[in-house]
Amino acid sequence: MESLYALIMKIKVSDLIAKFFETKGMKYGFGIIGSANAHIFDSIFYNTSIELICNHHEQACVMAAQTYWKIAGTPTFALVTAGGGSSNAITGVLSAWADSIPCIVISGQENPKFITPDHELRMYGIQGYDSPFAVSKMTKYGARIMDPKQVLYELEKAWHCATTGRPGPCWLDIPMNIQSALVEEDDFVRYIPEVGDLDQEGSILQEEALANAVTKTLEQLRTARRPLIWLGVGVRMGGAASEATRFIEKLGIPALVSWSAIDLLPSDHPLVAGSAGVYGQRAANFILQSCDYLLTIGTRLAIPQIGYEISELARGAKDITVVDIDLTELKKYPQRFTSPICADAGKFIKEMLVQVAKKPLPRPKEWIEWCGQIKNRFPWIGPEHKDKEGYINSYRFMDKLAPLMKPDQIVVTDMGTALLSGHQALPIKPPQRLLTSQGLGEMGFGLPGAIGASIARNRGEVLCLNCDGGMMMNLQELQTIVHYQLPIKIVVFNNDGYLMIKHTQKAVLKGRYAGTDKRSGVSCPDFSKVASAFEMPAYQIRTWKDFDRLMPKVLDAPGPVICEVFMDPEQFFHPKLGVSIQPDGSLISPPLEDLSPFITRELLEASLAVPILEKSKKLIAPMLRELHANEKTESSNSLKNKLANLKEIG
C-alpha cells in the first residue's frame, strides 16, 4: 500500500486537465455531462474558477466555443461524453474546421480494456467508438490517451496545434479510468514543439523573406492604375484587426472585405468597396471585376466569393497576389493566382505598413473617384427590395435596424434570410461585430453562436438574427439562454420554412416544393407561444409601425427576448449570381459582375472598366423578362440617368 505522503504528492488526471485549462486563461468552457466525462466535470466545477456552461446539445457546445473565441480572442474547450454525446459534437467540429477556429474538444471514452489496439471493433464497451479517427479529416490533431502519464503531453500538443499556423479544432479522447488515475507530477511527459511538427510550418515566410515579398507586392501596387485589396478574417486571426483601417488609409487603395471580415472595416469608409461574391453587393462586384491588380490578404477565396468560373475572376487584373498562411489554399487555382505568398496575414500587413511609411504609394485618384461613383449609383438597398404583398422586406429591415444598434453591438446570424440580408445590407462599424458560420453554413448556428458570444462578454448583450427554420435546429438552446439569463435579443424572420431552398426549387425544379413549407411537409410553431413556454417576453412585427414601436423595446430589454418578423414567404434575395436557362435548354452561369436582377446591357457596360463578356450579351431574353417584371420599380429615365452620371475610367 502506498504511503499517505506518496498519495499527497500525486495529482488526479482530471484535476490536471482542469488546471491546464485554467493556466491557459480560460474563464468559461462548454459541455454536457455523461458517465464517461464525469471526473473532468467534477474537477472543473470544484477545483477551478472556470465556469462550465451546460448546453443541451453537444453540437451547440462546439458552436458556442467558436463565437467565444471570436469575441474573447482566446480559445476554449468543449467537454462531451462518449457515444452519442461524442458523435453529436461532430457538426460543430466540422464547422470550426471550415472556419479555422481554434478549440479543444475533450471526449470521454470507455475503459481501455474494452478498446482493441487495432480498432477493428465497431463499438467499445457500452457506448465507445473510435472518435479521433471519425474526426481525423476535420481536426488539426487528434489522439486517444491510453497512458495517464501522457495526458499533459497531449494537452500541450493539442493547444500548440490548435493555435499555431492556420488555427483549427483538436480532439482528445480520454477513457474514464485514465481521468481518475493518480500520477506523480514529475512523471508527466511534456511536449516541446519543434519546427516541422505541423504540416506546412516551414513554408510560412519569415523576416527577410517576408520583407522581400512585401517589397515586391508594393511595387506591383505602385505600378497599377486600378489596384484593389481584398481583406479576409486572416487579418484578425493574425492580430492586425486594429491596424486594418490605418492600413487601407496609408496605402490609399480601395478595399473589399470577405463576409468573415465584414466587421474589420467601417462599411461607410470611402475606401471600403463592400463585399463581393455570388451574393455580393453589385457595386463591389463591378469594382472587383474592373481592377487591374488584385491583392488578397487572409481570405481563402471560396466559391461564394469568386463565383463559379475562376478564369473570370477580376478579369481586368493581369496579376493576382494571394497572401495566405495555408499553402494548400494557395495551390488550388494556379491558373489565376500569379503571385501566391505563404505568410501570416497580420505579419504581412504590419510589414507593409513599415515599408509604405518609408516609401508611400501614389494615390490612384481617378480610380478612387470611379469606385465612389459606382457605390453611389448602386446602393445596397435598391428597387428590388421594395416591400411586397404587405410584408416587410428583410433588406429594408436591416437598413432600419442599423441606426438602432449600439456602438459595440455584437450580431450573430443563423443561415438563410438572416445570413444573406445581414451580410448584404447591414452596415457595420467597428467595434461592432457580425458573426456566423461561413464555411459549413449549418442551420441552427444562431442560438449557440449567440450564447458563446454573450458568455465571452461576461453575459453581455448579443443580437441574434435567426429564421423560423434555423430556430428549430437548436431550439433547445433557448433553455440555456434562459437558465443563464443571457441578454440575447432573438429576431426570428418568419418565411414559412426554408426560403432559400424554395428559390432553388423554383430555379431547377419548376417551382415544385417538397419539404420546404407548410403545404409541402415542413411547419414551424408560433414562436410567441414558444417564448411563453420558456418564460421569455415575445413581440411580433408585421408592419413598419410595429417596427418603430417595438424594435427599440426589443433592443433595450434587460434580458432575453424573442421578436418575430413576418416577411414575404416568397421574397427573393437580391442581388445574386444566378443561372440563366437559354431557349435551347442550356444553362449559362453569368460572370460575377452580372448579378440578378439583370440590368440593361448598356448600363452593365458603362459600369465596368473592362468589356462585357459575350455570354452576358446572350442573356438578353432573361434580362428582358426581369426588366419587364421590375419596370414598375425603376423607370427607364432612372436607368438613363445612371448611364449619364457614370464616369468612364481607362
Please check the confidence at residue 649 and state whether its pLDDT lies above 50: no
User: Residue 118 has what pLDDT?
Assistant: 65
Q: Which residue has the higher pLDDT, 519 or 510?
A: 519
Report whether 468 contacts 441 (CB < 8 A).
Answer: no
User: Residue 286 has what pLDDT?
Assistant: 98
Residue (of 198, 106, 197, 195) closest to 155 by Cα position: 106
User: Residue 196 has what pLDDT?
Assistant: 66
Give the model confidence (pLDDT) of 55-77 as tens digits.
Answer: 999 999 999 999 999 999 999 99
User: Residue 598 has what pLDDT?
Assistant: 92
User: Residue 647 has what pLDDT?
Assistant: 42
What does DSSP say about strands 77-80 and 488-494: parallel, antiparallel, or unpaired?
unpaired
Give the model confidence (pLDDT) of 237-267 as tens digits.
Answer: 999 999 999 999 999 999 999 999 999 999 9
Q: Residue 78: enclosing H or E segment and its boundaries?
A: strand 77-80
Residue (of 462, 460, 469) closest to 441 by Cα position: 469
User: Residue 201 has what pLDDT?
Assistant: 67
Domain boundaries, the chain: 4-199, 202-377, 389-566, 580-645
| 552: its cell numbers | 427599440
User: Residue 189 has what pLDDT?
Assistant: 97
Identify the band that residue 404 occupies on the pLDDT scale cut at 50, 70 and 90: very high
User: Residue 642 has what pLDDT?
Assistant: 45
User: Residue 646 has what pLDDT?
Assistant: 46
Query: How large a percentage of the chain has pLDDT more than 70?
Result: 91
Alpha-carbon span 20 to 13, nearest angstrom:
10
Report whether 423 contacts 433 (CB < 8 A).
Answer: no
The pair phi, psi for residue 231, each rounded to 5°, is -100, 140
User: Residue 644 has what pLDDT?
Assistant: 45
Give the model confidence (pLDDT) of 477-492 as tens digits.
Answer: 999 999 999 999 999 9
Mean of pLDDT values over 359-382: 97
Report whether 266 contacts 248 (CB < 8 A).
Answer: no
User: Residue 122 has what pLDDT?
Assistant: 84
CA distances in angstroms from 459 to 52, 56, 353, 552, listed in the order given: 13, 18, 37, 20
Mean of pLDDT values over 173-181: 97
Specify whether the backbone of 555 is left (phi greater than 0), alpha (psi in -120 to 50) or beta. alpha
Alpha-carbon span 512 to 507, nearest angstrom:
10
Flag the least confident range among 17-31, 248-262, 471-485, 501-515: 501-515
Identify the band that residue 127 occupies on the pLDDT scale cut at 50, 70 and 90: confident
Give the model confidence (pLDDT) of 223-238 as tens digits.
Answer: 999 999 999 999 999 9
Residue (of 230, 223, 207, 164) closest to 354 by Cα position: 207
Please check the confidence at residue 496 and state whether its pLDDT lies above 60: yes
User: Residue 640 has what pLDDT?
Assistant: 46
What does DSSP say about strands 10-12 and 182-184: parallel, antiparallel, or unpaired?
antiparallel
Report whether 464 contacts 445 (CB < 8 A).
Answer: no
Please check the confidence at residue 78 and state whether its pLDDT lies above 70: yes
Q: Three-class SS of residue 322? A: strand
Query: How large a percentage of the chain has pLDDT more than 90?
Result: 86
User: Residue 650 has what pLDDT?
Assistant: 38
Report whether 245 contacts 310 (CB < 8 A).
Answer: no
| 19: its cell numbers | 488546471
Please check the confidence at residue 494 and state whether its pLDDT lies above 60: yes
Report whether 414 contacts 467 (CB < 8 A).
Answer: yes
Domains 202-377 and 389-566 share a fold: yes
Residue type, 174: I
User: Residue 585 has what pLDDT?
Assistant: 66
Rg value, the chain, Cα: 26
CA distances in angstroms from 249 to 215, 265, 323, listed in the order given: 18, 11, 19
Q: Which distant-in-sequence residues (6+ apart) come within 8 Å of 613 by Cβ? A: 312, 591, 594
Q: Residue 549: enclosing H or E segment and its boundaries?
A: helix 544-556
User: Residue 580 has what pLDDT?
Assistant: 65
Flag the least confident range among 189-193, 463-467, 621-625: 621-625
CATH superfamily of 202-377: TPP-binding domain (3.40.50.1220)
Q: What is the mean pLDDT of the chain?
A: 92
Length of the chain: 650
Kindly state the DSSP code that residue 265 receives in the 8-state scheme.
S
| 51: its cell numbers | 465556469
Mean of pLDDT values over 293-319: 96
Q: Could you tell me the fold of the domain covering 4-199?
A: Rossmann fold (3.40.50)
Give the model confidence (pLDDT) of 39-50 as tens digits.
Answer: 999 999 999 999
Report whether 254 contacts 273 (CB < 8 A).
Answer: yes
Please check the confidence at residue 1 and state whether its pLDDT lies above 60: no
pTM of the predicted model, to two decimals? 0.94
Peptide bond into 403 cis (omega under 30): no
Alpha-carbon span 434 to 420, nearest angstrom:
12
Place of cell 504581412: 348
Q: Which residue has the higher pLDDT, 424 or 582?
A: 424
Q: Three-class SS of residue 139? A: coil
Identify the band that residue 362 occupies on the pLDDT scale cut at 50, 70 and 90: very high
Identify the band that residue 126 occupies on the pLDDT scale cut at 50, 70 and 90: confident
Give the model confidence (pLDDT) of 609-638 as tens digits.
Answer: 999 999 898 775 555 554 444 444 444 444
Residue (of 402, 375, 385, 415) closest to 275 by Cα position: 375
Mean of pLDDT values over 585-599: 86
Give the model confidence (pLDDT) of 199-227 as tens digits.
Answer: 666 789 999 999 999 999 999 999 999 99
Place of cell 428583410: 394
Task: For domain 389-566, say whether CATH 3.40.109.10 is its number.
Answer: no
Mean of pLDDT values over 119-133: 86
